[in-house]
Chain A
């Protein structure tokens, strides 16, 4: 019996989980309270001030965090009087919209540069104590006229770093229908919004924002975001695309002529399938891929040579949905090159993609045989499809036993 007892003891011994002692929670020294107003008043233009006279506290509520991706290592907060402040963090994460925090300003840096007010290099593990989370802060309702005054950061009426809702605005015509930023290349973009006729403010969006690919609404209404400022110019930072409440009728008709494109694919992001392009091999394993071999930039390439033999192939490269709702005279453009036409490349169009009776029709375009010098396709007219949502596809067909290379690049659907 004792043997069994010891067997069990061994099992228990190994099953025991070691408990480690927790370190003591950090206590943040408090000191006398201060406010953003006091800091604004004492701020020296184009200087960085380090607090060194001991502990002092500032209570703030976060109004914009980094979770949308529209800012990185930067959050915005207001104090109990509603004054705004930007916090540039030493490390990303840890502060969220609705968090009420107490900061100890001792040894922190306050910058007042280019008319911007912000705390720099904020180490939240050393200088910040959260008091609560889930606090609700309503935006301050303003008009475009409010942005024309009190532009000095030291002015207590200045709106910098505040959460605002600007009413009676819409984006300029050139911006409507575009994406807020380029989510593929992760590049930022700025588009103006303002009164129907009058002053505007720029809406700046990072390519890393989760809503970067959201389309800019064409309507009229209000928009909510954080007011950023550089010298005398304000820009607006969106927290979410849902805070663009622009559904009312626009005060200007759509200006399709200024649209740059409905679809553009140049493969320079080295991805065949980015922006929802699809590859499909209906026969064989040959498929479109990205290459920059012997060319200055990346392009789509296809070749049915598999090892030392040529395989029979039927491969497709299918575009994402192209919205031609507001199109006027859309055209398709691309360029091709080939080693021969033993294998064919056709361009197809479908306006009922995904339906049970999905049909593809052929589009004529210009090619040059046996040449690796790109040949422009010419403008392929798509005006018969305006008002519709279409997809285009490139179909590569090759017999077994022979084949050819096709290169494809610069696919563009635009207004003629």
Chain B
């Protein structure tokens, strides 16, 4: 116990704070592999990008292509088969963890717990699962039952210069005790402070506790609790002009100095513990019944600056850039600003001191009445956009083997409540924030129009208080899953099907002045009944070769957070929210010899009726617009392959790659509403996107790896990677019928520029790894590993890019594309001891 205490003390001394989203993880089972999610993965998603953009590809997969996709190509956001992250499923104890609203898996909920969150089962592509319907691109199944872990203790310590600089973990496994109990306790801490990108930081802890009671040979009961609180300060994407001015690819506009201290405005916090109570019972007829009660409760928040009656504090706001003046042919002003950008940190970064001083000076009387010499109204505040989540899920799964058949089915019920609101994180020197919507000022002279809460007009909001918007989104779902897999001598066959009833509703807690009758109270319920079916057949040509064909067809609910035109302000639902349609096919040929493992596959996927809802400033209409793109169709076709050969026992060579074509297969429909008035400012019109590439993933990648396994328990490896076919994520609005018509009648050259989708440069990078294991006193196992990414230190590789939604129809260059750069040379060294 003393030893444990001392080690804990050391751990805490070493780590004043810790963390990140799960961007680096070394599996104890496969320590030679190293996930290469770059620093950019930890960066904040900006306009149009998903919050949780973490590739979930498979750590422990035996599939060579999956290993490269997960550890090598993911450096540049490669995703198998070009499918977005909500086509990857994750389960814990047989319960699918993908959220029922967004279909995204919350990796941050268990980040840092890699010692205990293992991956005993993984699949890529269309595959069957026996307790739930898995997603189309990939699936990970975790098992957290304590009895699975052998007795032992493990400590590890990692240093690096990636998203975190230090990580320490400690795990304790009781094994099965005499009383048939098993316990696991694991802790981890991670921290990093401006490790690669200035102004970013990570603090995270991970806690895992699990207890399992083996009641009898046929019955066990287990309880698991997971908690990964974390605080992260994120980076921003910027334009090429800004990177050129600052002469660094790691410019981050989210931070600035406050009395000489670095402070970030973009901080995300998360603390959402997960609890699982699982009962496994095997009947006398050998049917297995697994029932799980799952509860998730907690909060996540994203901070950001808000301002009223003041200048935009974002340092790289387009009006503060030299290009704004050059476009107006004001060379002198542009040159002066260029000089400032190259020398003055109060210009290039957030000027906290100036904002605070403006707040401190702003004595204010509401409606200009009431003599006041002390209370100041904040013109700038740091606000937290909060999401309080509460989820209860019940699932019961029945599985039985009958001869060569496995038959199984599950019933699942979900209740998900998400409470959205804003609070004041910091008044920045002011006494209060006035709870009005400044953008509603133009709507008219009625004072109520500006009120965010008409029942509390002109409310002075103090530190920590709620303001702005306050509403719930409720999601309820009932799901029935059924499947059968047959394993014959020549053929393996499976079929999985799922039927779901899902309903979504918004409940507004306050009435705002813009929508006094539709902002408070319950919206209509939106119901979806998606159905999906997938099946596959594997033909075993012989014991070493297999040919498989698999298909999936069905419908799925859209992201239910996006079915409201403006959920922050009103209950109105977009017209005709429709189910998404999917159709997927794949064919694979596999070889499995002692000296050669290989797979080559082809796939073709179609998704139709996809939807995107976005809000942004629309320059044509001079208002914030709520834009929905409906009828999006995507197609992904391609080939993928991976092979591994072992030469003279110690030399392992791997080659893997994917060649794909991921495009929007049809034009879509776009329409938009004024955020403040519900006026439809853009009637349904065509957006000409057919043939443009989707940006969920690079289209193609090729990797070659050489690994040397030495006799004395050490290894070294090197990987050469080449990624191609990378495109900027498009803005559908700028290709709308109205914009195209405008240019087509005036300037065909401008139209050509408008319709083009920027292709990013192909990228080549080298990674390397090495490791060494020791064993001493016949008890202690020590593992040392070193991984290096981007050995050539190339800092010109763009990790991702997107077209800004804001668009000036008269001057296309005003809002150019934004980019995020991948990390240059970076490394991680880990020492671990098991006993």
B-binding residues in A (CB < 8 A): 2-3, 6-7, 9-11, 13-15, 20-23, 25-26, 65, 67, 69, 91-94, 96-99, 124-125, 128-136, 186, 208, 210-211, 213-214, 240-242, 270-274, 279, 285, 287-293
Binary per-residue interface labels of chain B (357-385) against chain A in the complex, 1 for a CB within 8 Å, 0 otherwise: 11011111100111111000001000000
> Contacts A22-B360, A23-B258 given; 14 further ones with Cβ under 8 A?
A7-B207, A13-B17, A21-B261, A23-B353, A25-B357, A26-B360, A67-B441, A96-B364, A98-B365, A133-B372, A134-B369, A210-B443, A271-B621, A272-B683
Residue of A nearest to B354 (CB): A125
Q: Specify which of A65, A99, A285 is in contact with B363 (CB 8 Å cutoff).
A: A99
- What A residues does B365 contact at CB under 8 A? 96, 98, 133-134
- What B residues does A6 contact at CB under 8 A? 8, 12, 187
Binary per-residue interface labels of chain B (734-758) against chain A in the complex, 1 for a CB within 8 Å, 0 otherwise: 0000100110010000000000000
- What B residues does A242 contact at CB under 8 A? 445
- What A residues does B230 contact at CB under 8 A? 14
Contact, CB under 8 Å: A97 / B368: yes
CA distance A99 to B376 in the complex (A): 12
Q: Specify which of A2, A7, A20, A290 is in contact with B683 (CB 8 Å cutoff).
A: A290
List 11 contacting pairs A-B, 8 Å CB cutoff, sorted by A: A14-B229, A20-B258, A21-B259, A93-B311, A94-B361, A125-B358, A132-B371, A136-B369, A240-B445, A242-B445, A271-B679
Q: Specify which of B205, B352, B429 is in contact with A13 (CB 8 Å cutoff).
A: B205
**Quick check: is B399 within 8 A (CB to CB) of the other chain?**
no
Contact, CB under 8 Å: B373 / A132: yes
Chain B nearest CB from A406 CB (Å) reads 15
Contact, CB under 8 Å: B362 / A94: yes
Most-contacted residue by chain B among A3, A134, A208, A273 (CB, 10 A) = A134
Contact, CB under 8 Å: A26 / B357: yes
- What A residues does B364 contact at CB under 8 A? 96, 133
- What B residues does A93 contact at CB under 8 A? 308-311, 379
Chain A nearest CB from B434 CB (Å) reads 11
- What A residues does B357 contact at CB under 8 A? 23, 25-26, 125
Contact, CB under 8 Å: B358 / A134: no
Residue of A nearest to B185 (CB): A3
Q: Specify which of A92, A131, A210, A279 is in contact with B311 (CB 8 Å cutoff).
A: A92
Contact, CB under 8 Å: A272 / B372: no
Chain B nearest CB from A22 CB (Å) reads 6
Chain B nearest CB from A404 CB (Å) reads 18
Contact, CB under 8 Å: B354 / A2: no
- What A residues does B473 contact at CB under 8 A? none
Contact, CB under 8 Å: A210 / B441: yes
- What A residues does B5 contact at CB under 8 A? 2
- What A residues does B760 contact at CB under 8 A? none
CA distance A273 to B679 in the complex (A): 7
Known contacts A10-B205, A20-B258, A23-B356; is-contact A279 B8 (Cβ 8 Å): no
- What B residues does A213 contact at CB under 8 A? 444
Contact, CB under 8 Å: B356 / A273: no
Residue of A nearest to B364 (CB): A133
CA distance A211 to B365 in the complex (A): 22
CA distance A25 to B358 in the complex (A): 9
- What A residues does B542 contact at CB under 8 A? none
**Quick check: is B799 within 8 A (CB to CB) of the other chain?**
no
- What A residues does B684 contact at CB under 8 A? 285, 287, 289
CA distance A242 to B379 in the complex (A): 27
- What B residues does A69 contact at CB under 8 A? 441-442
CA distance A131 to B357 in the complex (A): 15
- What A residues does B353 contact at CB under 8 A? 23
Contact, CB under 8 Å: B379 / A273: no
**Quick check: is B620 within 8 A (CB to CB) of the other chain?**
yes
- What B residues does A272 contact at CB under 8 A? 680, 683
- What B residues does A132 contact at CB under 8 A? 363, 371-373
CA distance A298 to B679 in the complex (A): 18
Residue of B nearest to A13 (CB): B17
Chain A nearest CB from B126 CB (Å) reads 31
Contact, CB under 8 Å: B187 / A7: yes
CA distance A23 to B745 in the complex (A): 55
**Quick check: is B390 within 8 A (CB to CB) of the other chain?**
no
Q: Specify which of A94, A96, A131 is in contact with B358 (CB 8 Å cutoff).
A: A94
**Quick check: is B553 within 8 A (CB to CB) of the other chain?**
no
Known contacts A23-B357, A26-B357, A67-B441; is-contact A11 B371 (Cβ 8 Å): no
In the A-B complex, the 3 residue pairs with the closest CB atoms? A134-B365, A289-B683, A93-B309
**Quick check: is B519 within 8 A (CB to CB) of the other chain?**
no
Chain A nearest CB from B262 CB (Å) reads 10
Contact, CB under 8 Å: A289 / B12: no
Instruction: Tell me the residues in window 424-443 of chain B with beta carbons closer than 8 Å to chain A beta carbons.
Output: 429, 441-443
Contact, CB under 8 Å: A11 / B362: no
Chain B nearest CB from A291 CB (Å) reads 7
**Quick check: is B518 within 8 A (CB to CB) of the other chain?**
no
